[in-house]
Amino acid sequence: MDIARTPSTPDGNPELADAAPSPHEPPTIRREDYRPFPWLVPEVALDFDLGLDATRVVSTLTVARNAKADHSSTIRLNGDGLEVLSVKVDGEMSNSWTMDGDDLLVTLPGDAHEIAVATEIDPSANTQLMGLYASDGMLCTQCEAEGFRRITFFPDRPDVLSTYRVRMTGDAETFPVLLCNGNLEASGKNDDDTHWAEWHDPWPKPSYLFALVAGQLVANTDSFTTMSGREVTLNIYVREGDLDRTGHAMESLKKSMEWDEETFGREYDLDLFNIVAVSDFNMGAMENKGLNVFNTKYVLADEDTATDGDFDGVEGVIAHEYFHNWSGNRVTCRDWFQLSLKEGFTVLRDQLFSQDMGSEPVKRIEDVRVLRGAQFPEDSGPLAHPIRPDSYREISNFYTATVYNKGAEVIRMMRTMCGPERFRKGTDLYFERHDGEAATCEDFVKAIEDGAGLDLKQFRLWYSQAGTPRVSVRVEHEGDTATLRLSQVVPATPGQPDKQPMPIPLKVALFDRANGQHKGEELVILDKAEDSVTFSGFVEKPVLSINRGFSAPVTIERDIPAEDLVFLAANDDDPFARYEALQDLVVRHLKQAVEGELDDADRAEAREAIAGAFRAVLADESLDDLMRGELLVLPTETYLAETMLVADPGRIHAERQALRAAIGSALEEEFAALHTRASAVPYSLSAEARGARKVKTQALLYLAAGNADRGRDLAWSQYSGADNMTDRQGALMVLAGMSGIERTDALLDFYNRYKGNALVVDKWFTLQASSMHPDVLEHVKALADHPQFTMKNPNRVRSLYMAFAYNPHAFHAEDGEGYKLVADVILALDPINPQTAARFVPQLGRWRRIEPKRSAMMKAQLERIAAAPKLSRDTYEQVSRSLG
């Protein structure tokens, strides 16, 4: 899935509760309490009589005692808000059942039985969008993590694997398309106005991978021939009118299938692969076996409505969900503590795929920027947790950047240490050993260890310790020898005050100052609290390039002169290291400026040096524009705050904006020339054209900051003449942060041009909520009353309020109104969609790292949320952990 409770019983469920929790405090579930489920459920038959307001479900489970589990005379079938219509055991009506909260307990005297349970649900009333729900006249499902229990009673846990046969019956006009997992085996019409379809998935799967879609849809159909010669039919189902925007998604799917065969040896295993685009969806997409359900955002794209970033997003998410067919479906998770087993591995797989499809260094920089912007703050705050957590109260809160993105970095480190070929041997062994099983993170590490011949005993600490390691680095020089001295500290995190040193693979190179060259890159493994490495043959002290390619997800603390950073920015042959040198140069200056360490002369001197480094980037003809665009991006305010023990968001914003203005003013003519050159490149999806559009937007940002009138005129000209969404949105982003008639006219034109396209209207909301305009808070309040805004659609909520919450300039308004607005959103959204509401809490949860005045206001809003009656488990857990 792309970045969703039962009490303890003798039947072996892993969800073990604390003693007598209050209704407001959900039970704590611990990894150490896992026990195998006492019953196997090898076969499931589901019969759906579909309706938007009433769907009847009859589930028939073939069950048998699990010899590997403790004996139990009852089977616990999880439910959530379901009402039992009937229960049959072995074909006879049964009274040997009771309810335990939401769960159905059935007494079973023998070793094997057949249980049939009938229920009825109302999909139209399901605003949580978990289970079976209605979306604009269509029925669809989302079952990860615990949504299947909202459809029917079932042991809703990932280690219960079953084959499924499904019969769907529905009104032929309302639901002309009937889709489910696996292969379509039969279909037909009834005597009335209904029709039916029967599906069979031959591969055992957990209930979280179940999917059903029924509605008025059209398909882009294609095919793919696998490496063994089987032809697979591919369908992308969308609403009428969206079909012409599915071409990129289809090409991305076929590229993904071919790449997975070539790179990991994984072949698709069904006759059909279906994707359905849904407008109401909590997540990005879901990898249900053979029937992937996607947020429309990650399917629909054309040049008029999608940016280059959107095209990348479609390609990456299509790949991610397809790759889950093996890393998540054929081999699934034993329990939800192992979530990174499938998600971390699959994120790495989609990152490697995207690198191969485009620019490897640019993709690496983009991935690191996401990690630093989302995961590093998570790792240093009250919600910090290992990639394999020890406990949780609501599993949907653990679909986090730590589990996904840090999980990918941890597996990437294994790949770095053993090399691609030996890593492939390890993954082949993993799939061979655990195909058709519910596995653990330990199973994966052991397979890499055995397949690659690598000792990963100490490396396992990465799975159990939270926190971003800080690596201190210094270079000493004597005679012709350079000594690299390294030390590491893993900071204390909630529940983990003391940490052990972890193996940290660091790619390093030492540059000769005289010729700007190095003698080769080396891999250094720091696995102690302190260590040193010597290098010979240096007449003078070399310049160190470290953590090249971002070989480890750590913070590097290096005492390096500014001139050495300038040297690396100009000479480093590792694209990431060059990017990092520029970032460090800017971060160092901004930290000193924010913390009051610079007088006016020092500030001016530092700005001049940074402008000089940027001038070199603009003039470097060896760079392509995709990389040039990355090098021109300033560190985000969020990342700058993360580098400080206590941050003042107001001062960070002011200093960063002032630096951008200084660079824009100093390099005004260079940026204008860059914009002119890039504007001459015609639209295409080639690397050259994409790079041109990227640097055009960066040039506009600097020109608008350095010379507002010139920037405004150029942005308006670009907006008016744009023939693609990337250029149009880039120009509008700049105009949205400025005042004047051009801003008003462009926003009105954009809305009128695209008001019938929900995804582009989302962009319109986001551009205003994320802008640098001084009145952005008032704009957001006004937009909440717009006729096209609704709290019931997650995309629309995120487009306005999440964009605002992640806009430090607006969110951290000095009077605290930004905090109050987000708290109001959480309280209003929680009864409707708790999963989405809970995702707003971490922004307020950073209160300990913010200066005292703002900190107190953030904490007060968290306390206000915590005091609300009937708070959902999702939101309660996030708030209580944030308050600590």
**Burial of 445 per CB tally in 10 Å (0-12, 13-18, 19+):** buried
Q: How many domains does the chain have?
A: 6
CATH of the domain at 874: 1.25.50.10
> Which pLDDT belongs to residue 411?
98
Same domain, 728 and 772: no
> Which pLDDT belongs to residue 17?
30
CB-based contact 316:228 (threshold 8 Å) = no
Rounded distance, CA 58 to CA 45, Å? Answer: 8
Q: Which domain holds residue 594?
A: 560-662
The DSSP annotation for 299-318 comes to T---TTT--HHHHHHHHHHH
User: Residue 705: inside a domain, yes or no?
Assistant: yes
Same domain, 759 and 743: no
> Which pLDDT belongs to residue 23?
43
Same domain, 116 and 49: yes
pLDDT digits over 826-882, tens only? 999 999 999 999 999 999 999 999 999 999 999 999 999 999 999 999 999 999 999
Same domain, 65 and 172: yes
Same domain, 246 and 141: yes
Rounded distance, CA 179 to CA 201, Å? Answer: 12
174 phi and psi, to 5 degrees? -70, -40
Which residue, of 505, 531, 559, is where some domain finishes? 559
The parts of the chain modelled with pLDDT lower than 70 are: 4-24
Same domain, 65 and 162: yes
Same domain, 591 and 703: no
Rounded distance, CA 657 to CA 552, Å? Answer: 30
Q: How many CB atoms lie within 10 A of CB 381?
A: 20
Helix, strand, or coil here: 815?
Answer: coil
CATH of the domain at 450: 1.10.390.10
Task: Return the H-helix or E-strand segment holding 532.
Answer: strand 530-536
pTM check: above 0.85: yes
User: Residue 56: inside a domain, yes or no?
Assistant: yes
Active-site residue, selected from the candidate residues 15, 315, 321, 366: 321
Q: Round the CA-based radius of gyration of the chain to a whole number and report it.
A: 28
User: Residue 445: inside a domain, yes or no?
Assistant: yes
The amino acid at residue 25 is E
User: Residue 15: inside a domain, yes or no?
Assistant: no
> Which pLDDT belongs to residue 14?
32
CB-based contact 699:733 (threshold 8 Å) = no
Same domain, 724 and 799: no
User: Residue 6: inside a domain, yes or no?
Assistant: no
Same domain, 384 and 456: yes
The amino acid at residue 445 is V
Same domain, 459 and 357: yes
User: Residue 107: inside a domain, yes or no?
Assistant: yes
CATH of the domain at 101: 2.60.40.1730
> Which pLDDT belongs to residue 26?
78
321 labelled catalytic: yes
CB-based contact 375:406 (threshold 8 Å) = yes
Which residue, of 617, 636, 662, is where some domain finishes? 662
The DSSP annotation for 152-217 comes to S-B--STT--EEEEEEEEEETTT--EEEESSEEEEEEE-SSSEEEEEEEEEEEE-GGG--EEEES-
Which residue, of 446, 464, 482, is where some domain finishes? 464
Same domain, 714 and 823: no
> Which pLDDT belongs to residue 24?
53
| The two three-digit tokens of residue 830, written as one number | 């929680």
Rounded distance, CA 16 to CA 27, Å? Answer: 7
> Which pLDDT belongs to residue 9?
29
Rounded distance, CA 375 to CA 352, Å? Answer: 19
Rounded distance, CA 211 to CA 653, Å? Answer: 45
> Which pLDDT belongs to residue 652?
98
Same domain, 363 and 511: no
128-135 long-range contacts (CB < 8 A, ≥24 apart) are 128/832, 128/833, 128/834, 128/835, 129/280, 129/281, 129/282, 129/794, 129/833, 129/835, 130/4, 130/282, 130/835, 131/80, 132/55, 132/212, 133/280, 134/52, 135/278, 135/279, 135/280, 135/281
Identify the CA nearest to 285 among candidates 347, 371, 204, 234. Answer: 347
> Which pLDDT belongs to residue 19?
31
User: Residue 396: inside a domain, yes or no?
Assistant: yes
> Which pLDDT belongs to residue 20?
35
Rounded distance, CA 230 to CA 216, Å? Answer: 30
CB-based contact 680:672 (threshold 8 Å) = no
Rounded distance, CA 275 to CA 291, Å? Answer: 6
The DSSP annotation for 223-258 comes to EEE-TTS-EEEEEEEE-TT-GGG-HHHHHHHHHHHH
pLDDT digits over 255-305, tens only? 999 999 999 999 999 999 999 999 999 999 999 999 999 999 999 999 999
Identify the CA nearest to 656 among candidates 563, 572, 592. Answer: 592
CB-based contact 746:735 (threshold 8 Å) = yes
Task: Return the H-helix or E-strand segment holding 120.
Answer: strand 112-121
User: Residue 389: inside a domain, yes or no?
Assistant: yes
